[in-house]
A and B are shown apart, each in its own frame.
Chain A
Amino acid sequence: MALVQLVCPLCGFSKHLEQARLPRYGTTVTCPKCQGQFLLEIGPRPAPVPVQAQENWLDAETPPAPLQPAAAAANTAMPEGAGAPVDAGVLETYELGAEELGAEEPPAPPKPPAAAAPAHAAAKRPRTLSFTFTGNASEYFGIWIVNTLLRIVTFGIYSPWAKVRKRRYFYANTLLDDATFDYLADPLAILKGWFIAGAFFGLYSFASRTSVIAGLAMGLVFMGLYPWVMVRSRMFNLRNSSHRNIRFSFNPNYNDAYKVYLWWSLLVPATLGLLIPYLLYRQKRFQAENSRFGNTPFRFHAIPDQYYRVFLPMLVLVPLALVILFGTPFLLPKGSGQAWQMILPPLVSTGCYLIGLAFVTVGLTNLTWSSTSLGRHRFNCTLRVRDMAWIYLSNAVAVLCTLGLLAPWAAVRMARYRLENLTLTGVGGLDSITAAWQEAPGATGEELGDMFGFDLGL
């Protein structure tokens, strides 16, 4: 009897099945491991299925192949405008109820749903939806400069309106399958959070400038607040992001938040940093699995191994840097000057640091997005290290040389590149997501995080 291997495109789980028991081509099956649902692309064919379409499906969804380029603190690193609305996340166990085909029992592996009529199956072939960015630099320059001016002449009171305007611009110009995103935050709620965060920030900067102990104490307080800030900020941003008039949301458990953002990170020094990839894995999983789009949870399919593999370039870069650093006195010809010995070490260490940073951030972004799915749709992120490095460097030079005037251009350029390398592949489009009732979280966490630059960190 011929055995066929079935692989879940979402989590990579595989199972052998007798050919005869295989459901018909194009039926929806539920993975026994991750409960994710996917379309079967092998098995007895119903009527004519265009061959090309099938190949696309295979290409797009082969389980996460080795490693794609490099890495970024995915969710956090996406520019606000671009990343937030589609950030991943889920509530523990949630059944996708919207589509009639997805109603099987999880335990039994692939089993044909009785209702799967051939014609239906053809209509349910997976499709790749792409993100596009329609904003442009000159338009955003106007918004940016007027925002900045109004913020200053109002002593910062206008900041929340400026922030909402900026985000709305980026969201409204982000299209997924020709539908926009929408940022709905109430500037007054942000203003309240801004005042609280501002008082805290003032206290912190005054304390740290005047007294070491007071500064340290404030630092400790802030460290304790950090997971809370992360959670509240993400809650606020997702809750105020919508797509097709359906809001996103984030409903985590605070215990888990403290585990992944505080307790575990305290262990990092004891493990000489070896825990970092695992920690990142846990954080990304936490972010993804607790987020939803309407009633549909995001799911996360990566395994810790993959996060460790993102850091592989470090195994080359760190020894290389050490060899060059400690080897220079011997390598350089005698008398080639102290100048070289002065210049080389900082040059080498900065170079290695930047290269490592590029590989790791791009790798993390790609991995995190590509491991995230929403309902029966899987994200795929294909940033390239050299592109990202070039954009970062040229942006930095351009912004510095124009004393900041090209900052809007840089922001638009980065958002466009990131979005154009993100796709969502799956069955049936995103038109059957149902809304969920949610309460509105305050903006204090979001503003605290903003002031201390959290969404840039990690």
Chain B
Amino acid sequence: MIARGFWYDGKNSQRREVTVDCAGDGQLRVQGDGVDVSARLFELQIDAPLGKARRMIRFADGAVLETADLAFLDSLQSRQGKGGFFRAVHGWESNLLWAGGALVLLLLVGFGFTRYAVPYLASQAAFALPPTTEDLVGRESLQILDRIVLKPSALPKARRGELSALFLRMTARYPERRGWRLEFRSGAAVGANAFALPSGIVVITDRLVGLAKNDNEIAGVLAHEVGHVNRRHALRHLMQNSATALLVATVTGDITSATSLSATLPTLLIDAKYSRDFEMEADDAAVAYLKGQGIPVATYADLLTRLGADHQKGAPEDKSGLGEYLADHPLIQERVKRVLGGRKG
């Protein structure tokens, strides 16, 4: 078997046209243009196949033979019995049908990762994290929020005391409640709202307290937040987002900067899905608590509906409102339906 190629000795850049021949005894012979070299086949390194690009045979002394005769190289490699993995990879890459199969597999694996593996790993990690780390994260988060969007609460001290006592009663049955606390804030940008931060900090806004008709409604909201806290949702959310961002970066790794939107968009979508899952879990916790206390679940659903309406009303005024309306309102309706459904069932 004879092939033509170019010989570069590695000492200078001169190209020599040569022929290469591999006899049955495993001896490779390169000849032509002042070159006459032989080497044993098993001592040579042959580049893995890659598209239809020319490849090199690399000699021990640093010389290379470049050839476009890919069939010749393939036969040499089979005789060597080396490079099987990349020959398989090449076979996969160069068949469009198989490459399409890789695409389907990629979508399945991606779905499996984001839907099951990432949430599972994040929850394992969140529960394994030392409390001091979580404390730090929670404190810092609140400080940032205080600086950016939150203002001190204007609620009377007595009212705050009542609600804090309610929170204490509600959390008394959790053994890990150390560090959990209720914080009162206000702020136009967040509107009527309550949210849970890592390490068990629950923030409730004056507007939400004002919107509630009675303490049972507030208890529903607090139970929802305690559900977040108890399940370490804030921390898990943080970790899941980091993990998916990493995953998306892996998939889109070689997409140029001009299209980096294509990297952030899937991250945002996956993030939205995670948020919904967590909200529903926390709603379940709230429903369970209310049932246990003999409070009608409808009170909580009522408050959710009013919260949705309140956010909608605020929408035209502030800039963040538009996105919030689009994202939250259908979600709230869905949640109300779900909560009420839970009551029946």
A166 touches B106 (CB 8 A): no
**A173 sits at the interface (CB 8 A):** yes
B262 touches A456 (CB 8 A): no
Chain A interface size, under 10 / 10 to 19 / 20 to 34 / 35 or more: 35 or more
Which chain B residues border A432 with CB–CB below 8 Å?
12-14
A142 touches B93 (CB 8 A): yes
B102 CB contact (under 8 Å) in A145, A392, A434: A145
B94 touches A211 (CB 8 A): no
Which chain A residues border B103 with CB–CB below 8 Å?
145, 405
A190-204 to B contact mask, C-beta < 8 Å, 1/0: 000000000000000
Of A39-47, A122-130, A396-404, the stretch lying at the interface with chain B is A396-404
Which chain A residues border B247 with CB–CB below 8 Å?
152
**B251 sits at the interface (CB 8 A):** yes
**A141 sits at the interface (CB 8 A):** yes
When chains A and B are docked, how far (Å) is the Cα of A173 from the Cα of B137?
Answer: 50
B102 touches A245 (CB 8 A): no
**B272 sits at the interface (CB 8 A):** no
A146 CB contact (under 8 Å) in B54, B99, B252: B99
B12 CB contact (under 8 Å) in A138, A152, A433: A433
Q: Do A142 and B99 form a contact, CB below 8 Å, given A392-B258, A395-B256, A434-B11?
A: yes
**B261 sits at the interface (CB 8 A):** yes
Interface residues of B in 1-19 (CB under 8 A from A): 6, 8-15
When chains A and B are docked, how far (Å) is the Cα of A209 from the Cα of B335?
Answer: 29
Give chain A's interface secondary structure class. helix
B8 touches A244 (CB 8 A): yes
When chains A and B are docked, how far (Å) is the Cα of A138 from the Cα of B47?
Answer: 21
B259 touches A400 (CB 8 A): yes
Which chain A residues border B12 with CB–CB below 8 Å?
98, 246, 294, 431-435
When chains A and B are docked, how far (Å) is the Cα of A353 from the Cα of B238?
Answer: 34
B259 touches A395 (CB 8 A): yes
Which chain B residues border A169 with CB–CB below 8 Å?
50-51, 53
Greatest chain B CB density within 10 A among A98, A146, A433 is at A146
Chain B interface size, under 10 / 10 to 19 / 20 to 34 / 35 or more: 35 or more
Which chain A residues border B99 with CB–CB below 8 Å?
141-142, 145-146
B53 touches A134 (CB 8 A): yes
Q: A393 — nearest CB in chain B belongs to which residue?
A: B258
B259 touches A243 (CB 8 A): no
When chains A and B are docked, how far (Å) is the Cα of A206 from the Cα of B47?
Answer: 40
| B338, chain A: closest CB distance, angstroms | 30
B51 CB contact (under 8 Å) in A98, A135, A150: A135
B258 touches A149 (CB 8 A): no
A206 touches B259 (CB 8 A): no
A145 touches B106 (CB 8 A): yes
A221-264 to B contact mask, C-beta < 8 Å, 1/0: 00000000000000000000001111000000000000000000
| B6, chain A: closest CB distance, angstroms | 7
B102 touches A146 (CB 8 A): yes
**B27 sits at the interface (CB 8 A):** no
Interface residues of A in 121-170 (CB under 8 A from B): 134-135, 138-146, 148-153, 156, 159, 165-166, 168-169
Q: B198 — nearest CB in chain A belongs to which residue?
A: A210
Q: Do A151 and B53 form a contact, CB below 8 Å, given A142-B92, A294-B12, A392-B258?
A: no
Which residues of A are in contact with B by a Cβ distance under 8 Å? 98, 134-135, 138-146, 148-153, 156, 159, 165-166, 168-169, 172-173, 179-180, 182, 205-206, 209-212, 243-246, 294, 392, 395-396, 399-400, 403-405, 407, 410-411, 414, 430-435, 453, 456-457
Using A142-B94, A145-B106, A168-B47 as known contacts, list a sample of 8 further A-B pairs with CB atoms less than 8 Å apart, ordered by residue number in A. Answer: A143-B50, A149-B109, A150-B89, A152-B250, A209-B242, A410-B259, A431-B12, A433-B12
Listed by A's residue number, 8 A-B pairs whose Cβ atoms lie within 8 Å are A142-B98, A145-B99, A159-B253, A210-B140, A404-B251, A431-B12, A431-B13, A434-B12
Query: Sorted from nearest, which 7 A-B pairs have the closest CB atoms?
Result: A245-B8, A172-B53, A142-B93, A244-B13, A433-B13, A142-B99, A456-B257
